[in-house]
Structure 1
């Protein structure tokens, strides 16, 4: 459609009018100046529309069209482009690069003075060469893609409005669409549009469209793999003859969901994926941006930080969990319980006191590991058994939803969780960190049901509570970890952790790996650190004394 210039009269054909045409003009219609553009003309025309009882629907249609914001924006863009065409300066030279090369050649052949040497160095810099190259490209107008003319021999077998000719321009990248053969009609239809691909960026190809021709080649009787080969070999522009789907699916917004992968994935080894070439390989702990969850079985995702804009297929969380459950049931996947080492439940023979937290004049409270190790065997109440069963339930590792996080000024510090083997001396590490900087770091004061000793203070070494109160809090899942030692209950509560963080301190906790799931929330945003013992300590420490961990040893974080 050709755009109109200035105040060109607009005539619309309305049914029922004499001669089939009704001119929307009036004797008292204001006269537009020669400088008036399409935008002003459209606004004036909209204001001059008068109700017509004989053509209510047509007049309403015209009013809606003229009031459409997108049409107004197009008019403004058209006026800006026409103004640029009238005002844009004519380039003096179309080959600045060649001129610069001639000057460099002349300067190199002649005797070079200081000014000439400086000019030679300036013309030889990559940035100036690139700028001159861009100048020539704009001057010669080589920035528009050259498209071949549309084919004239369009089949007349289809209705003129039902056939759509789509021309896509792509480089070496894939088209970004998958096809399949319809089981009922036998037609080749678009099965999936990959987000970010050439087909998705064009907005002209939709799921369900029937594909008839590719670059003039009929694909009605070809296999999908043969059609894919034709598309892969095509470079530059690709012309598709498409019959649009009956109901074209609208372009959905990106979901912007970030997932951390908890397993390795190679689509070449996945026989269930509908198209291996469209699969997205990833490694464990890579962060993926899921851009489409329309298909409950196969999501579309991109690797965060990857320069490739096209999304790929990955198994959905539900589908991957189903596969893992099936493999575990058939015995092809080992159960986490079979890989879990038996719990250490030996008491510490060298331990004479249940709290040894004084270091450099500061007391550092904490739940000793020896009180936690035998909790599954020693606690037998229904509530405790329920908590224990939750911790022992096998988890299918697929994806973990994450989000971008940046610490804001005034926000309270994050929780620091220490995880390590028995030789890592986590309790001693906490003591040293808090003793060196007690204003910045703190630990959660544990709860206990044992009687308070004469030298102990409430809320310093422990929170001393009754057994009934302890079991009530345990029933309401207020404890992160708990255990029994010498018929007394000990536990670290979530309220104690929050109390340290409320004082604007970094709370240090060391827990068993099973307790991490309860801490990985938006409230705590834990920073998990794995602490391993030094090599010489691992060689020296016998494996039969796991609970005796309070002797000095070098640490590695």
Structure 2
């Protein structure tokens, strides 16, 4: 196997797409070219022979448990002594009458044995009471009512004691039911309609599903045989276009080994394929010595029932534990086609900054299995995404590697950067809570705001984007529902101003003290006076039951998010440059072309640097439509839960 060493840890792999160290045995969307699987008659005959031998062995074991010594009963002894009497050699009126006579004679012979036994016991007993008891028993055995009851008992017991099948007859009971339902679609007969109603009953369908699941496991346990000196097992899986197998394979010298079982596939649900199992044959075709790409192409041409001949993994399987699903927000873009280290590019899951990912497996710490929020119905299999620590190490290595060594052997091993490189350092918001320089994922949870504690609305946008105007419209239309936080200032109050209404008037030392301990969301100085909005002022509005509306700079996001205010952050993006010129002209503004360009560029920078922290984005192309969209988003908070950092709920 090819290994690549990275920053103190080892990853198997190759940088060539044609030399994946793992290949998915099948992938969604590639089933249009499926054809019937090829057959190798010699291998198939040998497998069928193994199956036939197993069936014969089980049948012999079953018959051995039910064999009866002919000399053990008077009836069987008489039948064995008279070969002219019996089902196989009848001498009475035809075979049918002979069979009936034998069945009719069976309980009579048993009663005769009982009578003889009671008479023998009667001769051995001397006291009068015992003689009386045996006489009553003989009279009972001679009565016709007793003989009829005994006959009924014998017939019922024979039917109940019939030997059940020692193994499932089929693992496709569901498919058989579906076929019968299709046949009955055109039937209008009473029996057909009744059978169709029975087969479509949810309880019967659930029974068939449970039967097939248990049958597959039982047959897999039985199909443990010897092959080429190895203990192997045969596994049958159903490959359909709707549900892929969901497994990857890798080469280990000449062997083809199951590398990982992907959540959501047939292999994972059946529990029959395990990581580390070596695949010897698929539908009778030997795969030993084949490259994983050849195995992939082989399975792409197969459909229906696939029979795998496996050498079970020798690894000790850990006790099964319930997987805990965690929900994370991604803070970087990822494209598996640009990542040569992804084990299987076909199963790589692409995502963008801000996407919510549902991680369902962290068994491989370097490559998690996840679904992208909103795509669960279309995404049949879980996709592979870089693990948290793995991605952080890659980012650290990428940032500490000189630019001239970022290319190795003419191939980029990292996600490509944009044409315009940013000279400034990354924002502190992109740093992990643990002190790492790059925040990869943040665990999220669904949160539904209480009716009496509304989340603050923070409007973020560059100057002239229209976020100030949107805030003023909210406050003017519904002043009882929306409010602003009363700011703090160090200047002296004017005659019409009251402390706590227009401003909180504080001393400069007090303001600076609160600023040092992080109590202000934003602050600044104007004409030698300090101004700022504190978290306590925002909390006062929240506690009053109203919605606090804020217009903030992006540098205020760190304090706002680190508080327990649970803000809902909306980015107000400007429209195109020409449309922005028109909107500003209606307000009596005549900005220069370079000023308009600066607004557009500033918005692009804000979205690139802080986009993952925005809960929603509104492009302010038309002020009335933007305002209606803002109202819709705010009202949505009362009806739908939202994703928030899990740390906010602790």
The TM-score bracket by the shorter chain reads 0.5 to 0.7
Shift of 1:425: 4.7
1:28-427 alignment runs, 5 A limit: 96-100=184-188, 134=200, 154-155=226-227, 157-159=229-231, 163-172=232-241, 173-182=243-252, 187-240=255-308, 241-305=310-374, 306-307=376-377, 308-328=379-399, 330-331=402-403, 333=417, 338=422, 390=428, 396=438, 398-408=440-450, 410-427=451-468
Comparing 239-248 and 529-538, the one that deviates more: 529-538
Q: Residue 291 of structure 1: SS of its match in structure 2?
A: strand
Which one of the candidate residues 496, 505, 510 is aligned to 1:469? 510
Deviation of 1:273 after TM superposition, in Å, equals 0.7
Distance 2:267 2:389 in 1: 28
Superimposed CA distance per residue, residues 273-293 of structure 1 (whole angstroms, 9 cap, x where no aligned partner): 111122123345443211112
Post-superposition CA distance 1:17-50 (Å, at most 9, x none):
xxxxxxxxxxxxxxxxxxxxxxxxxxxxxxxxxx
Corresponding position of 1:31: none
Please report how far the alpha carbon of residue 196 of structure 1 lies from its aligned counterpart in structure 2 after TM superposition.
1.5
Q: 1:455 to 1:130 in 2, by over 3 A?
A: farther
Structure 2 unmatched runs, 5+: 1-57, 60-64, 66-179, 404-415, 597-621, 628-650
CA RMSD, aligned part only? 4.4
- What do the CA deviations read for 1:492-533 (whole angstroms, capped 9, x no partner)? 111111111011110111111232243336933322223356
CA contact (8 A) 1:302 1:309 kept: no
Rate the CA distance shift 1:295–1:404 in 2: closer, same or farther, 3 A: same
Structure number with greater CO (CA < 8 Å, separation at least 6) is 2
Residues 436 and 167 of structure 1, relative CA distance in 2, 3 Å threshold = same
| Cα distance in 2, alignment partners of residues 281 and 522 from structure 1 | 32
Partner SS, residue 212 of structure 1: strand
| Contact preservation (8 Å) 1:299, 1:315 | yes
**C-alpha distance in 2, partners of 1:392/1:310?**
30
Name 2:484's counterpart in structure 1.
443
Distance 1:267 1:488, change over 3 A: same
Secondary structure of 1:422's partner? coil
In structure 1, how many angstroms separate the alpha carbons of the residues matched to 2:547 and 2:278? 60
Tell me how far 1:130 sits from its aligned partner. Answer: 9.0
Give the superposition deviation at 1:415: 1.1
The 3 A distance-change label for structure 1 pair 203 and 402 is same
Q: Which runs of 5+ in 1 are unaligned?
A: 3-7, 9-92, 103-122, 342-387, 547-552
Checking the alignment, whether the CA contact within 8 Å between 1:261 and 1:285 is kept in structure 2 is yes
Contact 1:324–1:333 (CA<8 Å) still a contact in 2? no
Contact map agreement 2:247 2:262 (CA 8 A) in 1: yes
Rounded to whole Å, the distance in 2 between the matches of 1:406 and 1:478 is 26
Answer 1 or 2: which has greater helix percent.
2
In terms of mean alpha carbon deviation, does 463-472 or 497-506 score higher?
463-472
Corresponding residue of 1:454: 495
Give the Cα separation in 1 of the matches to 2:316 and 2:300. Answer: 28
How far did 1:176 drift?
A: 1.3
For the pair shown, the structure with the greater C-alpha radius of gyration is 2
Structure 1 counterpart of 2:583? 537
1:520 & 1:319 partners in 2: Cα distance? 26
Q: Please report the TM-score for the alignment, with normalisation by the length of structure 2.
A: 0.51
C-alpha deviation, 1:416, in angstroms: 0.5
Question: Which range moves more in the overlay, 495-504 or 244-253?
Answer: 244-253
Q: 1:422: Cα distance to partner?
A: 0.8
Deviations 1:435-462 (A, max 9, x none): 3322211111111122222322111111
